[in-house]
Amino acid sequence: MVERQLRGRGIYDERVLAAMLEIPREEFMPESSRKFAYADDPAPIGYGQTISQPYMVALMAQCLELEGTETVLEVGGGCGYHAAVLAAVAARVISMELIPELAEMAQQNLEKTGRGGNVLVVCGDGAQGCPALAPFEAISVAAAAEEVPPALLEQLKEGGRLVIPVGGAWDQELRVIHKQGGEITSRVATYCRFVPLR
């Protein structure tokens, strides 16, 4: 997976590659989906949600340009895999998940894989961010919004980056938003398809 799907497709951040080499993706997936753990595809995790394609997890983490000192807000925590990857390359991760059962699953998965030490799983509406713990040096959103939620822009620290899929159900752009000097700039990293942000 790491050599062909990630490094072979242009993922160059060695810390992200090392994290994805070390973290057992199958341990974050239901038994019925584990045979697809290292396929280059999203996979169902229940409740109408998916674990993101490995390439997309790696690309999003790389786009945040993390150095290891940051506090990251993750929106759409799902089964906890993306939080585990982010936690390996950042100081702390606040992982928000709207569906209580998935938030509990994420917590259990992080604990059983020994990856939960610097992750706080919060059950709540990630589109509103987490004002009590803001601001954040980086924000990663694993669900598509029709437009960037204003609360997330407000909670992004000066100099920080926000990675978010933006668009409708079938036509989305993975945007990398940078907040610097009071200005908001945005670029498109790739095109993608995520479940909707609710």
pLDDT for 112: 95
Q: Does position 195 have pLDDT exceeding 90, yes or no?
A: no
pLDDT for 4: 93
Percent of the chain surpassing pLDDT 90: 90
In the structure, what pLDDT confidence band is assigned to residue 171 with cuts at 50, 70 and 90? confident
In the structure, what pLDDT confidence band is assigned to residue 133 with cuts at 50, 70 and 90? very high
Segment 29-36 mean pLDDT: 90
pLDDT for 156: 97
pLDDT for 71: 98
Q: Where do the domains of the chain lie, and which CATH numbers do they carry?
A: 2-192 (3.40.50.150)
Average pLDDT, the chain: 95
Segment 39-60 mean pLDDT: 93
pLDDT for 182: 82
Percent of the chain surpassing pLDDT 70: 100
What is the CB neighbour count within 10 angstroms for residue 104? 13
End-to-end CA gap in the chain: 30
Q: Identify the CA nearest to 197 among candidates 167, 175, 171.
A: 167
pLDDT for 95: 98
Q: Identify the CA nearest to 44 among candidates 25, 26, 54, 30.
A: 30
Quote the crossing angle between the two packed helices 54-63 and 14-22, to the nearest 10°: 140
Q: Is 52 among the catalytic positions?
A: yes
Segment 34-39 mean pLDDT: 92
Structure tokens at 71: 């506090």
The tens digit of pLDDT for each residue in 135-158 reads 999 999 999 999 999 999 999 999
Looking at 32, 33, 52, 140, which residue is catalytic?
Answer: 52
In the structure, what pLDDT confidence band is assigned to residue 168 with cuts at 50, 70 and 90? confident
**In degrees to the nearest 10, what's the CA dihedral of 122, 123, 128, 129?**
20
